[in-house]
Copies of this chain bind each other. A is one copy, B any other.
Amino acid sequence: MKQNIYDNPTFFEGYMKLRDSKMTYNDFLEQPAMKDALPDLKGKRVMDLGCGTGGLSKYCIEMGASAVVGVDISEKMISRALVENNDENIKYVCSPIEDLSYPIEPFDLIVSSLAIHYIEDYESLIRKLHTLLNPNGILIYSIEHPVVTARKDMRNWWKNENGERLHWALDHYREEGKREQHWYVDGVIKYHRTLQTLVNGLIGHGFMLERMLEPLSTKEGLNLMPDLKNEERRPSFLIIKSRKTD
């Protein structure tokens, strides 16, 4: 069963309220770093994996991409994408990433923003993405950082009796697999993977690493959300850029 938490009405409502606020970690931390890591997009065919409401898909078109296929498991997200970020050169597809099978012309770039930690079988995914890329095609994905997903109890900032953050609590690092979390609703499932799994899974399936990023907040973000300063204490996200080699 593929997880489709985004079609849960309670989750969707909470998530959309957060997203519409434009005051999220994605806005100031993850998206600026992802965009910075993108190659020249002029004339490129792009797949946006876990495209959500299509913001990154639309950005790729604005940066010159010739065509974008945005894929998401959630009907509600795809419906929003069709309203908010519709474009004649974007095709939105509602499908679990794992089941994606319609015959596709290969891509020059696959981007995936904070979606791959929802996927159970990383190696199969990477193999599949490899087949969807042109020679020398680029894969850039962001995920929650392994130091964030590791501990089973997700109450990860260890605080003193005054509520001050003492440090980040790390544990269970080598126990890969499911992590269940309350995020608007109970039972949001993410998958924890170690760095060695993430990196060797790419290298072992025909990708070459090009860059690794552990983003800090933009200045604007720090002004608007002072808690983003804590990113200096432990990174929330990891971005890996790689290139298909064979």
- Chain A residues packing against B (C-beta within 8 Å): 147, 150-151, 158, 166-175, 194-196, 199-200, 203, 208-214, 216, 231-235, 238
What does DSSP make chain A's interface, helix, strand, loop or mixed?
mixed
Are B167 and A171 in contact (CB-based, < 8 A)?
yes
- The residue that A167 contacts in the complex, of B158, B208, B212, B232, with Cβ under 8 A, is B158
A234 to B216, CA, bound (A): 23
Known contacts A167-B151, A196-B213, A212-B196; A234/B173 CB under 8 A: yes
Task: Report B-chain residues with C-beta under 8 Å of the C-beta of A158.
Answer: 158, 167, 169
Known contacts A209-B203, A232-B175, A235-B174; A195/B214 CB under 8 A: yes
Are B167 and A169 in contact (CB-based, < 8 A)?
yes
Shortest Cβ distance from A175 into chain B, in angstroms? 7
Are A199 and B170 in contact (CB-based, < 8 A)?
no
Task: Report B-chain residues with C-beta under 8 Å of the C-beta of A196.
Answer: 211-214
Task: Report B-chain residues with C-beta under 8 Å of the C-beta of A169.
Answer: 158, 166-170
Are B209 and A174 in contact (CB-based, < 8 A)?
no
What are the 8 closest A-B residue pairs judged by CB atoms, nearest first? A167-B169, A168-B170, A167-B171, A199-B212, A174-B232, A209-B209, A170-B170, A196-B212
Q: Which residue from chain B places its CB closest to the CB of A204 in the assembled complex?
A: B211
A172 to B214, CA, bound (A): 13
Shortest Cβ distance from A238 into chain B, in angstroms? 8
A216 to B196, CA, bound (A): 12
